[in-house]
């Protein structure tokens, strides 16, 4: 597994961590302290705000989980990957694409997210 795959897996793991204390630790393991996260629905900065954002998504999509939906591609301290969100064992109704930038320690410094498929009720 490449470093970029490890980073994408840590990112997905943070989004899937339902316990608040464990989620805070998962975010700290994946994101730099001043990391930013921007997608069509959110624009936040810092680990605490990212942790809160993830908690909100988990409430909105209770029982669903994130998973990588293809290969991870990376170079020069940046990576891109497609993810899917939905019930386990079923086609995911939500699909997105993220680009992350990394610091020298391999922590995420920014996320630029795009939503490729979102159901009307989401």
Domain count across the chain: 1
Residue 24 lies in a domain: yes
Yes or no: say if 108 and 102 are a contact pair by the CB < 8 Å rule: yes
The answer to whether residue 18 sits within a structural domain is: yes
The predicted structure's pLDDT at residue 1: 55
Q: What is the pTM of this model?
A: 0.94
Closest to 51 in 3D by CA, of 78, 82, 85, 22: 22
How confident is the model over 84-100, as pLDDT tens digits? 999 999 999 999 999 99
> Rg of the Cα trace of the chain?
13
Least Cα distance to 113 among 63, 70, 88, 79 occurs for 79
Please report whether residue 122 resides in a domain. Answer: no
Q: Is residue 88 a part of any domain in this protein?
A: yes
Segment holding 39, helix H or strand E: strand 31-39
In tens, the pLDDT along 14-50 reads 999 999 999 999 999 999 999 999 999 999 999 999 9
103 in a structural domain: yes
Range of the domain at 18: 3-117
CA distance 20 to 68: 22
Question: Could you tell me if residue 14 is inside a domain?
Answer: yes
Give domain status of residue 70, yes or no. yes
């Amino acid at each position: 597994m490449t470093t970029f795959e490890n980073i994408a897996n840590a990112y997905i793991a943070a989004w899937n961590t339902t316990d608040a204390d464990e989620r805070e630790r998962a975010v700290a393991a994946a994101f730099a302290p001043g990391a930013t996260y921007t997608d069509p629905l959110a624009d936040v900065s810092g680990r605490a705000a990212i942790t809160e954002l993830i908690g909100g998504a988990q409430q909105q999509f209770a029982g669903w989980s994130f998973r990588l939906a293809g290969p991870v591609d990376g170079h020069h301290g940046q990576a891109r990957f497609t993810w899917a969100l939905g019930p386990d064992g079923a086609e995911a109704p939500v699909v997105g694409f993220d680009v992350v930038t990394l610091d020298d320690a391999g922590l995420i410094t920014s996320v630029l997210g795009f939503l490729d498929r979102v159901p009307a009720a989401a």
